């Protein structure tokens, strides 16, 4: 068989916030039995959602789909403040699986709002994390900035009372370019005490950037609605990969992509399980003489403790 070198990006796949959210749903099911309701996808990965559904999780778009007295878990992306308010009004039990690093951004936005600043939020319109962050304060208090052009054009009520925050899963380079424009236009703008883009996003992008110049094709395992997965594809293309594609599973691979490919780069978004990467490598082995090399740019030891899960009072 024709040889193929597979360069595995490290770190890749699950981050601490994703593991915490998935474990919270599993714990809720173990303690209470099915059904446990989950508002939106707990993380952006169909494999994970299907696995939890098979265990008894019921995924809903809104709380009105949860029966009174039910238990609902909020997704890792965070929710507007109106969601737990509505849950209490409807006497639902709930567990909040919002990633602690997203919650940090929520608290920043609240603090700036309380101190009278307009907040410019760098992020992608419609993404659940952005919806949740903007929903921490009164409508109109946060202005969304998606691009450098937005940063150049934005007008604010008082340039001296201004702050910015960012979605946690953005391109590090693109975000830096937007922040540079904001700082040039508004020298007094207040920013986060620490980087809002999370450690996992940064590390996965660094690993892809390190590998990309060496590969003919880069495959990122992740979902089309996963911001961090899409950013990995962009990073691979920007840093010199011959071609870069997003796939959900090995079944999505068009094997004509590998024609003439001697070196393949592989990574996975922060909501993609390692099982899917292993399946991709095994599928490659069935067609090529594969040699695997891991290129690791950082070690991760971050963990987040889960909050207590409410216990349902089931009729006996």
Q: Which residues are catalytic?
A: 129
HSE-up of residue 63 (Cα within 13 Å, Cβ side):
23
Neighbours of 153 (CB within 10 A): 11
Tokens encoding 37 = 């309701």
> CA gyration radius for the chain?
21
- What is the full DSSP assignment across the chain? --EEEEEEEES-S--HHHHHHHHHHHHHHHHH-S-EEEES-SSS-HHHHHHHHHHTEEEESSGGGSPTT-EEEE-TT---THHHHHHHHTT-EEEE---HHHHHHHHHHHHHHHTT-EEEEES-TT-HHHHHHHTTS-TTSEEEE-SHHHHHH---S-TTSEEEEE-TTS-HHHHHHHHHHHHHH-TT-B--SS-SS-HHHHHHHHHHHHHGGG-SEEEEES-TT-HHHHHHHHHHHHTT-S-EEEESSGGG--GGGGTT-SEEEEEE-TTS-HHHHHHHHHHHHTTSEEEEEEEE--------PPPPPP------
- Give the separation between CA 135 and CA 14, rounded to whole angstroms: 26
């Amino acid at each position: 068989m024709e040889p193929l070198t597979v360069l595995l990006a490290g770190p890749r796949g699950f981050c601490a916030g994703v593991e915490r959210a998935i474990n919270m749903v599993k714990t809720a099911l173990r303690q209470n039995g099915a059904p446990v309701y989950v508002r939106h996808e707990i993380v952006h990965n169909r494999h994970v959602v299907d696995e939890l559904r098979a265990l008894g999780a019921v995924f809903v778009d809104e709380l009105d789909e949860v029966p009174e007295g039910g238990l609902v878990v909020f997704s890792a992306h965070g929710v507007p403040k109106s969601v737990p308010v509505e849950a209490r009004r409807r006497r639902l039990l709930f567990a909040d699986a919002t990633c602690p690093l997203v919650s940090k951004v929520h608290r920043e936005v609240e603090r700036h709002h309380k101190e009278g600043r307009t907040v410019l939020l760098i992020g992608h319109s419609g993404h659940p994390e952005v919806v949740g962050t903007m929903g921490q304060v009164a409508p109109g208090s946060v202005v969304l900035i998606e691009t450098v052009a937005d940063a150049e054009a934005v007008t604010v009520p008082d340039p001296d009372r201004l702050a910015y925050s960012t979605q946690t899963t953005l391109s590090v380079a693109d975000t830096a370019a937007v922040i540079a424009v904001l700082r040039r236009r508004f020298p007094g703008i207040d920013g986060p005490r620490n980087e809002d883009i999370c450690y996992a996003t940064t590390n996965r992008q660094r690993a892809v950037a390190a590998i990309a110049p060496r590969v003919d094709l880069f495959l990122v395992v992740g979902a089309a609605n996963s911001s961090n997965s899409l950013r990995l594809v962009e990073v691979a293309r920007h840093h010199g990969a011959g071609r870069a594609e997003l796939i959900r599973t090995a079944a999505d691979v068009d094997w004509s992509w590998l024609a003439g490919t001697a070196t393949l780069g592989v990574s996975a978004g922060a909501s993609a399980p390692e099982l899917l990467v292993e399946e991709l490598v095994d599928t490659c082995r069935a067609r090529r003489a594969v040699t695997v090399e891991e290129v690791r740019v950082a070690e991760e030891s971050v963990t987040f403790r889960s909050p207590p899960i409410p216990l349902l009072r089931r009729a006996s």
